[in-house]
């Protein structure tokens, strides 16, 4: 018995792509934050991590409200514990 795969609409595919981009932005900002020592750059990357995290949380809530599957559950403590 084969299980039918539900094809995703354009909006659903776009949302999953945006979730991945937001996750990549968080990873990039965190990685850069770990590398800098200049106070202005530290502030900049903290701002970028916070902005990316808020966007990611917003997108995850949107996906949940649409009952959309196919994204990784958020693991926010990775970032929040280090700020």
- At residue 6, φ and ψ (nearest 5 deg) are -75, 125
Q: What pLDDT does 25 receive? A: 95
- At residue 24, φ and ψ (nearest 5 deg) are -65, -40
Q: What is the rounded CA–CA span in Å between residue 32 and residue 13?
A: 29
69 vs 55 pLDDT, higher one: 55
Quickly tell me which residue has 């990775």 as its tokens: 78
Confidence tier at 70 by pLDDT (50, 70, 90): confident
8 vs 49 pLDDT, higher one: 49
pLDDT single digits (tens) 17-68: 999 999 999 999 999 999 999 999 999 999 999 999 999 999 999 999 998 8
């Amino acid at each position: 018995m084969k299980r039918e795969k539900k094809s995703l609409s354009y909006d659903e595919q776009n949302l999953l792509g945006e979730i991945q981009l937001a996750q990549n932005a968080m990873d990039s900002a965190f990685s850069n934050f770990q590398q800098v020592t200049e106070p202005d750059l530290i502030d900049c990357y903290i701002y970028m991590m916070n902005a990316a995290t808020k966007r990611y949380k917003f997108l995850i809530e949107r996906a949940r409200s649409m009952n959309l599957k196919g994204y990784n559950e958020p693991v926010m403590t990775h970032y929040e514990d280090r700020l």
